[in-house]
Amino acid sequence: MIIKLRYFAWVRERVGKPEEDIEVPPGVATVAQLMVWLASRGEEYAHAFANPKVIRAAIDRTHVRPDTAIGNAGEIAFFPPMTGG
Amino acid sequence: MHYIIPMTVTATVRLQREPFDAAAEAAMLTRGRTDAGAVVTFTGICRGAEAGEPIAALTLEHYPGMAETEIERHVAEATERWPLLGVTVIHRFGRIVPGEDIVLVVTVSSHRQAAFAAAEFLMDYLKTRAPFWKQVEKAGGTTWVDAKATDDAAAERWAAPGRDAAE
């Protein structure tokens, strides 16, 4: 299954790109597992996802918790806690 | 959880790079109606210093598509929780220099309590749930603003019992 990943703020800076399409590997079922897998993809990913507890996620533009199943997600975004307003 | 904005409520959500005119936006919500008894207008402004250090500018990054949807959802929730007649939320993105406006919330109701509460609710949610991120430009370089625990606490006081914070 191919999904689009999007990164914002310092997650985007550390990964070095705003978005990419990835094939979800077997055994990766939740957002938290996806972060663990991403962290293993290289130095920049390891840096971006070194502390997954501080990273927030959204599936198809809705906030989700780390234990949420990826399911049929089309787009998953990772970003730091929001600082708007 | 889904909320629907009643047809009797004038609701506007805009994300834009350009500045806005707070007074004109408030006037537009009350013009021609005689049922409005209270207008609350909140404007968030870019400060010229953070923790005693002067800043050159803030740059706001956002998640297009999600930011609009997330704000609209909270506007709809506000119209369900308080008897509002009108709501306008405008959030700017891009580079903003000290003294410039960042965000506008206007709420109109027959009585002040609802207008005050709804405006505060919307601002607390914009701070913690709307996908925007502030980067600070200082003489020494740029840094991302850290989320404040006080903002999280302010948003949590509006949570309805049993409602999942991540939904």
Tell me: the pLDDT tens digits for B120-167? 999 999 999 999 999 999 988 999 999 888 888 888 888 865 454 444
Percent of chain B with pLDDT over 90: 77
Q: What are the residue ranges spanned by the domains of chain A? A: 25-62
Are A85 and B44 in contact (CB < 8 Å)? yes
pLDDT at B105: 98
CA angle B142, B144, B150 (to 5 degrees): 140
Q: In chain A, which residue's Cα lies nearest the Cα of B44? A: A85
Q: Which of B65, B91, B135 faces A84 most closely, judged by CB atoms?
A: B91
Q: How many residues does chain A have?
A: 85
* Strands (DSSP E) found in chain B: 10-16, 38-45, 49-50, 53-54, 57-62, 84-92, 94-96, 101-109, 132-138, 141-144
Distance from CA of A81 to the nearest CA of B (A): 6
Distance from CA of B61 to the nearest CA of A (A): 7
Pairing verdict, β B132-138 and B57-62: antiparallel
pLDDT band at B6 (very low <50, low <70, confident <90, very high): confident
Q: For residue B77, which amino acid is it?
A: E
Are A84 and B61 in contact (CB < 8 Å)? no
Tell me which H or E stretch contains A74.
Answer: none
Q: Which domains does chain B have, with CATH numbers?
A: 10-156 (3.90.1170.40)
Tell me: the pLDDT tens digits for B110-133? 999 999 999 999 999 999 999 999
Q: How many residues does chain B have?
A: 167
Q: Which of B69, B102, B132 faces A82 most closely, judged by CB atoms?
A: B132
Distance from CA of B34 to the nearest CA of A (A): 31
Contact A68, A31 (CB under 8 A): yes
Measured between beta carbons, which residues in chain A are less than 8 angstroms from residue B63?
6, 8, 58, 61, 77, 79
pLDDT at B148: 87
B106: tokens are 């206007």
Are A63 and B167 in contact (CB < 8 Å)? yes
A-contacting residues in B 46-85 (Cβ below 8 Å): 60-63, 65-67, 69-70
Tell me: the pLDDT tens digits for B81-100? 999 999 999 999 999 999 99
Measured between beta carbons, which residues in chain B are less than 8 angstroms from residue A61?
63, 65-66, 69-70
Q: What is the CA radius of gyration of chain B?
A: 16
